[in-house]
Amino acid sequence: MKHLHTKTYGERDDTPLEHAVDEHWDEGKDLLKHLPKKEGHGDTFFPELKDAIFCGHLVTDLDSIAGAIGAANLYGGVPARASEINTETEFALEHWGLPLPPPVEDLLKEKPDRSVCLVDFQQQSQLNKAIPMGNIVGVIDHHALQSNTIVTEKPIFVDIRPWGCMSSIIAHNYATMGVFLPKNIAGLLLSAILSDTLNLRSPTTTAWDERIVSMLVQYVGVEDVNELAAKQFRAKSHALSLMTPYALVNGDMKQFKFTNDAVGKTYTVAYSVVETTDAAASLARTHEILPELRAVKANAPADAPIDAVFLAVVDIVNLDSTLLVCGRIEGSLAVAAYGGKLEDDGSVLQMPGLVSRKKDFVPALTKAVREGWTPPEDVVSDHEQRDLKRSRSMADVAQGDVVVDYSEEPSGKLVRRDSANYTAADGAKAGQGA
């Protein structure tokens, strides 16, 4: 078990990740016995999933891609992606030698009535608009069922478990169903679990996640699981330093609805998360990020307004978070949900020990709204009088169109074009029509 003794970060005690793998080594070995040793051994019988498209949520992450690939192979379907991938997912696909799944739009264009199984989500706000609700035949997920859950006319296949990662569910199904698991897919599932559970340190982590990680480490033959995790997070953190403020805000944003039954109102909150090993670098860009957060509210469609928007910078080394607060409504809701005191002119709230959007951030908001929080009347009145579209000041909202800039990277990156200072040269540089 070389991975338990390699000093990846210099002289230190075993990390929680290494300890978990060691602690559950025998349990992982028992699970491993159920995995067929050769391709073609074992079979599944879920006709409703046969030849289905397996697709994750918008703002695609590693778990949704790994789960789509793993589930498609397990149940006999085709993996797809709902949107572009992040750098951590790109690293993992390359590391394990797997191709990027095609966009779900392309697959549905070829066959519009094709069945779809959702992986890693079941919220309508996270569903790619190309997927008709009537095409959905299954859900494999590990998130709570909330007010915006999909609605189906017929019963569907559902596998939802309170585990730390959806890829743990997929890997477990390979073992319990006795289906051959290709080692490159096993490696991708392992990477997804490390990502979603922050190296098994997130409060969402369960004993089953730890057992599955131990099984996959043995099955794939990873010599140093700590090094694998470090490479993944370095890939993600390095990319964050190169991302534009627009990309940081919109790169991992999900929308949630919270209902205050006492007043009969439902509030929509957009919540972004930035997970990094260098939290200070991201927080140093707060002045750039806040205007982009306000732009999310200001640019929301009239028929689907956003009442509040947050971005949490999660320090995956120290397991703490800092919440960026872009307005007075956000400040009121943040304090009601998480406690503490706003800092830096009301734009920052420290959240010690909170790191998970699923288990820490969203449930606290649900509780605050359910127990009576409503936007402060004076703030709402002020916004209405000044027509600020629920933002503090239009001067503090990022302005201009979002375009693809090819000047620094061949693949391009999303930037916001300042219409006041935009020139013809800028247009050529950014790639007109992109």
Predicted local distance difference test score (pLDDT) of residue 376: 87
More confident residue, 144 or 193: 193
The topology under which CATH files domain 2-228 is: inorganic pyrophosphatase (n-terminal core) (3.90.1640)
Domain 243-396 grouped into CATH 3.10.129.10:
no
At residue 166, the pLDDT reads 97
CA gap 165, 138 in Å, rounded:
18
Average pLDDT, the chain: 85
pLDDT on residue 381: 59
Write down the pLDDT at residue 20.
Answer: 87
Q: What was the pLDDT predicted at 100? A: 97
Half-sphere exposure of 106 toward its Cβ, with a 13 Å CA cutoff?
9
Distance from C-alpha of 71 to C-alpha of 65, rounded to nearest angstrom: 10
Q: Where are the domains of the chain?
A: 2-228, 243-396, 399-430
pLDDT at 432 over 60: no
At residue 426, the pLDDT reads: 40
Over range 157-183, report the average pLDDT.
95
Q: What is the average pLDDT across 133-144?
A: 95
Give the model's confidence band at 175: pLDDT under 50 very low, under 70 low, under 90 confident, else very high: very high
Report the pLDDT averaged over residues 26-31: 90
Per-residue pLDDT band for 47 (boundaries 50, 70, 90) equals: confident
pLDDT: which is higher, 407 or 175: 175
Mean pLDDT of 302-325: 93
The model's pTM is 0.73
307 pLDDT above the threshold of 50: yes
More confident residue, 423 or 302: 302
- pLDDT score at 283: 93
> What is the predicted pLDDT for the residue at 405?
54
Higher pLDDT, 407 or 29: 29
Query: Which run of H or E residues covers position 351?
Result: strand 348-351
Q: What does the DSSP assignment read for 158-224?
A: EEE---S-HHHHHHHHHHHHT----HHHHHHHHHHHHHHTTTTTSTT--HHHHHHHHHHHHHHT-S-
* pLDDT value at 213 more than 60: yes
User: pLDDT tens for residues 260-290?
Assistant: 988 899 999 999 999 888 899 899 999 999 9
pLDDT (0 to 100) of residue 379: 67
Q: Is the pLDDT of residue 389 over 80?
A: no
pLDDT above 90: percentage of residues in the chain: 59
| Mean pLDDT lowest among 43-47, 83-87, 150-154 | 43-47
Q: Give the E-state strand segments of 52-108 in sequence order.
A: 53-55, 78-80
Residue 383 has pLDDT above 60, yes or no: no
pLDDT at 431: 34
Residue 268: strand, helix, or coil: strand
Please state the length of the chain. Answer: 434
Q: Which residues of 280-319 are buried (b: 16+ CB within 10 A; e: fewer)?
A: eebbebbeebbbbbbbbbbebeeeeebbbbbbbbbbbeeb
401-405 and 320-325 beta bridge pairing: unpaired
pLDDT above 60 for 425: no
